[in-house]
Amino acid sequence: MDRILEVVHSVLPTTPARWLSMTQAFPYDLLTARPAPGEWSAMECLQHVLDTELVFQRRLQAFLMGEDFPTFRPDTQEALPDPTWQPLDYAREFSRRRDKSLPELAKLTEPDLKLKARHAELGMVTLSEMVHEWVAHDLNHTVQAERAMMQPFIKGCGPWQGYFSDHVVRS
């Protein structure tokens, strides 16, 4: 995508606001319901983007310092949810972490996007590719969360279910 830095600065700031809105407005049981066995709930998606915000920050620093970085394994490396936190607490923490990322991203220039680093699993990657992945990752997990929360409504809409066939999560 051309103008990726411009797009990054328009997309990434919107994600925390979307999560804050969802966690303030939607009931807990809707946020925590898994759409199918083995699939993530909206809250699990939020926990993941919260965890990976630190991963993206570390990767950005690795590129800028000319260092390689390890693979992130979400199934084994995510922090355990804090049992005292409510959904809004996670969204607020994600917002706080993103507020730390945005100024660092704002410092990037077009020449920086050509920087390369070795990803332990993917091999040589560019900062441009990682920035694209950051935006795609945000949008992917927000859509995944919204799709998870759609499931009870799709099941309950009777003859309109066919209109949502692209969004049904199958086990």
pLDDT score of 63 = 94
> Into how many domains does the chain fold?
1
pLDDT score of 124 = 95
pLDDT score of 69 = 84
* Strand partners for 118: 124
**pLDDT, tens digit, for every residue of 49-104?**
998 998 999 999 999 999 998 777 655 545 666 778 899 999 999 999 999 999 99
DSSP for 8-40 reads HHHHTTHHHHHHHHHHHHS-HHHHH--SSTTPP
pLDDT over 90 for what percent of the chain?
82
Domain that holds residue 97: 4-167
**Average pLDDT of the residues of the chain:** 92
Identify the CATH number of the domain in which residue 89 sits: 1.20.120.450
Higher per-residue pLDDT: 69 or 12 = 12
Does the structure show a pLDDT above 80 at 20?
yes
